[in-house]
Amino acid sequence: MSHLQLCLAFSSVLFAVGLTGALARSNSILVLLGLELMLTAAIMNFIAFWRFGPSHAPATGVIFAVFAIAVAAAETAVGLALVISVYRHQRNIRLPEANRLRG
């Protein structure tokens, strides 16, 4: 197993853990944290390929990763604001209870 494959395997497992957590827990904040893990794993892929893959534009990988981190931060902020807003209505942050947009 090459370095690249190892790194990729690492990020895949982290992604799967994040997914499991997001699916398993009913606390909204934990679900958000699971989503963060998934995002982090995806960004790790970029760095893995930057380090071990053929690099034509060395700076691009880094820049992309930085941008992705910024986006993740923004997304987290908005998500947490949503959670607070939902809490104001429900008085708890149990995700399965926030199912009013049902058909």
Partner 1 sequence: MNAMVDALWLIPALPLLAAGMGALTPRRGRRFAAGVAIAAMAGALVLSCLALRSALAAPSAHLFHNFRWFDLGNGVVELGWLLDPLSALMCVMVSLVGLLIFIFSLGYMEADENFARFFCFMSLFAAAMLGVVVANSLLLLFISWELVGLASYLLIGFWFHKPEAAAAAKKAFITTRIGDIGFLLGLVWLYDATGSLLLYDGGSGVLEAGVLGNLGTLTLASGLAVSTAISLLIFCGAAGKSGQFPLHVWLPDAMEGPTPVSALIHAATMVAAGVFLIARVFPLVSYDQVLTADPVHALTVVAFIGAITALLGAAIAVAQSDLKRVLAFSTISQLGYMMLALGVGSWVAAIFHLLTHAFFKALLFLAAGSVIHAAHHEQDIRRLGGLGRQMRTTYATFAVGMMALAGVPFLFSGFWSKEAILHAASEWGVSRLPLYAGLAAVVLTAFYMTRLLCEVFWGSPRSPEAAQAHENRGVITVPLVILAIGSVALGFLGTPAWPWLQSKLTGEAVPPHSLLEGGGLMMLSIVLVATGIGAGWALYGRRVRASADAADPFAAAAPGLFSFLGARMKLDELYAATLGRMNTFGAAFSDFLDRWVWGGAVGFLALLGEFTGSVNTEVDESGLNAGFNSFSERIRRLGRAYSGAQSGEAQGYLRTVAIAFVVLALLVLLGGSR
Partner 2 sequence: MNAVLVIIALVTVGAAVVAMSGRNLLHSVLLLTVSWAGVAAFYLWAGAEFVAFAQLLVYVGAISMAVLFAVLLTRRSRDDVAAPPASRSRGIYAILSGAAVAAVLLAAVSLAPLSSAPTPPPSVTVRQLGDQLMGPHAASLLVIAALLTVALIGAVVLAAGGSPGNPEDEP
Smallest separation, CB 100 to partner 2 (Å):
17
| Binding test (CB under 8 A) with partner 2, winner from 19, 42, 97, 98 | 19
Q: How far apart are CA 27 and CA 43, in angstroms?
A: 25
> Closest separation between CB of residue 35 and partner 1, Å?
9
Environment class of 28 (CB within 10 Å of its CB; exposed 0-12, middle 13-18, buried 19+): buried
State yes or no: residue 36 binds partner 2 (CB under 8 A).
yes
Q: Which of partner 1, partner 2, none is residue 5 near (CB under 5 to 8 Å by kind)? A: partner 2
Per CB under 8 A, which of residues 23..42 are in contact with partner 1? 23, 26, 31
As to burial, measured by CB atoms within 10 angstroms (0-12 exposed, 13-18 middle, 19+ buried), residue 102 is exposed
